[in-house]
Structure 1
């Protein structure tokens, strides 16, 4: 991208931010000096995280996938439960999963992220915090040892869990910058209460959580940092809400049945990777960009990689506005309406995914474009490269190829990329990890 184009996008972001400021108060009843400063810092961080040449990131990810598959000649789908030795099948997992000392070197995980969120290190540079208490009774002065107490502490923290637990959040969990929530070694469920909120923050890793049966919160006085308590309005019921935030990595999370979306990324959020997750039993799965009128989402860059979109899903895997979305090597085994959709001319690059269409003859199309006639959307860049279409699935392409096509045949695995998807996503969702053994 030319320097003039970069300046244009940044100008567009700032103008949109200024125009839309009154609506940036989502769920913040009192947008006081603390939240104004947090919004300004988040805006600056998003600007710094934005990559004016997103093709460099997609190229890097494809190169890692190719290296992970080199030497692999078995493409037969294995339907049996895996009980053998550790088999990490994609480049993110190969970075850490088969090492038996993972529990003694937990922070190695922060070196493994790829895609647009590749600079995310979470709480790597901070101490460990052990969650010992599953309660969430005091929203303004949370008890030490609880997850709510952990996520609002100042500075980087690597948060782990003393044991398996179910955490029912009384209201949305407002997470501050430079945090890792690492549930490896325990079965940790965020369930039957409110969800996770990443608002005006940067540098957060969420790993190996079950998040399900999330409901909208009523709001109220909620701690949002170690030094501030704010009044919140009603939350939406998202599993994970990313709002005006950057450098976010969501990995090996299992999600289902939330009151609104499973994962929403809106209001200028960017530099995000969503990988190795398992999504089931939900209607509107992922929303990237909440408004056709908010041009600030032009800086949005998100990688969706190695995930399994499974049973009981309807639509939005994802639904995109503006931005640049790289959807690579995911397994789409179920949908009822469509898989990938959008409006407001997002760039969507779909590579090496497997799409298995539903029996419904009227739901075979992978793609869905909203609020634009064909003579408008045919200029949008939606490209399918090396995808495997099954059971009548079809992807309606539009726009031209990227002007600088960075994808070689080796990087794209153009021969039979779809046949590798089951291997790449075989261990999606939460992992059963035991100290002293590979995950």
Structure 2
């Protein structure tokens, strides 16, 4: 069931039957976070229920050690956990999102530069899902006009798609993450999306990347790990797969997106674990 947010139902599902539902309006009205602000939880006490965060037109923001949960999970368009749009220097670290109506993390169509998403858990388990199987579909959507995202040491599990979707003009360096348990696809890389994926673990993810996307992807294997050396000053780390499909992508032009940016080190996929991701673990 979808909420008719911004007349979405009228415009895209006009012939669908309508029903009367009750939902929490707070989910559609996120907390706005201004520049030079930090939201840091204490232990495992930092939990936001029913309402997300929106960082727009802001810079120098830290979101750390919190959990965001139960944002109208029954309903599509029920609300996003974290939204970025027109931002710079944002760090999202040791955050857990769970039972979210729409996106767990979304970068809107305007540019969001120098974003780091690290040590976070995107938990897709839900009694309600668009795919009717208890696995969440909208996990991460990176769609900005000039986004640069370091996506590192995260745990993404129980998902059925868009984990993440990358397009617009977004560059994602996905390094040392742990994807687990999917009934759909992980990556969806379409026009304007650029992804370098290295040192990641995929466990029980049958479709690691959706076929047919026209974005640019470089997925590291043992045979192409040395291709990174000329641009990154080091070899890349190969991805690892267990009961999972293949991850195709050999477009080395992705490496040009680094420019002069600092590049994080990567460890071998054999050293990657999901146990340290999420709130309450720092």
* Aligned residue number for residue 342 of structure 1: 189
> C-alpha deviations, 1:247-289, integer Å up to 9, x for none?
1111001111111100001121221011001111232100001
TM-score, normalised by the number of residues in structure 2: 0.70
Contact 2:51 2:68 in 1 (8 A): no
More helix by share: 1
| Superposed displacement of residue 236, structure 1 | 5.6
Determine if the alignment matches structure 1 residue 270 to structure 2 residue 113: yes
| Superposed displacement of residue 398, structure 1 | 4.0
Distance 1:255 1:277 in 2: 8
From 123, 130, 138, the counterpart of 1:284: 138
* Aligned residue number for residue 293 of structure 1: none
Determine if the alignment matches structure 1 residue 381 to structure 2 residue 216: yes
* Aligned residue number for residue 179 of structure 1: 37
* Aligned residue number for residue 319 of structure 1: 165
TM-score, normalised by the number of residues in structure 1: 0.46
From 62, 65, 75, the counterpart of 1:208: 65
Contact 1:343 1:369 in 2 (8 A): no
| Superposed displacement of residue 400, structure 1 | 3.2
More strand by share: 2
Distance 1:355 1:186 in 2: 28
Determine if the alignment matches structure 1 residue 246 to structure 2 residue 88: yes
Distance 2:156 2:44 in 1: 24
Distance 1:183 1:365 in 2: 35
Structure with max Cα Rg: 1
Over aligned residues, Cα RMSD in angstroms? 2.6
Structure 1: runs of 5+ lacking an equivalent: 1-25, 28-167, 217-234, 290-296, 359-363, 433-438
Contact 2:29 2:51 in 1 (8 A): yes
Q: 1:381 to 1:209 in 2, by over 3 A?
A: same
* Structure possessing the higher relative contact order (Cα contacts under 8 Å, 6 or more residues apart): 1
Distance 1:247 1:403 in 2: 21
Contact 2:30 2:54 in 1 (8 A): yes
Q: 1:356 to 1:313 in 2, by over 3 A?
A: same
Question: Secondary structure at the residue paired with 1:315?
Answer: coil
> C-alpha deviations, 1:270-316, integer Å up to 9, x for none?
21011001111232100001xxxxxxx34210011001112x22222
Contact 2:218 2:249 in 1 (8 A): yes
Give the 4+ runs in structure 1 shifted more than 4 A.
Answer: 401-406
Determine if the alignment matches structure 1 residue 393 to structure 2 residue 240: no
* Aligned residue number for residue 276 of structure 2: 427
Contact 2:175 2:266 in 1 (8 A): no
Distance 1:391 1:194 in 2: 36
* Aligned residue number for residue 141 of structure 1: none
| Superposed displacement of residue 393, structure 1 | 2.1
Q: 1:269 to 1:236 in 2, by over 3 A?
A: farther
| Superposed displacement of residue 323, structure 1 | 1.8
> C-alpha deviations, 1:388-425, integer Å up to 9, x for none?
0111421021423556699xxxx555xxx221112xx4
Please identify, of 266-275 and 169-178, the stretch whose mean Cα deviation from structure 2 is larger.
169-178
Contact 1:200 1:245 in 2 (8 A): yes
| Superposed displacement of residue 214, structure 1 | 1.1
Question: Secondary structure at the residue paired with 1:428?
Answer: coil
* Aligned residue number for residue 224 of structure 1: none
> C-alpha deviations, 1:311-353, integer Å up to 9, x for none?
x222222110122110000011122111111211311000000
* Aligned residue number for residue 175 of structure 2: 328
Matches within 5 A, 1:31-110: none
Question: Secondary structure at the residue paired with 2:185?
Answer: coil
Matches within 5 A, 1:1-40: none
Structure 2: runs of 5+ lacking an equivalent: 7-25, 126-135, 221-237, 259-264
Determine if the alignment matches structure 1 residue 366 to structure 2 residue 208: yes
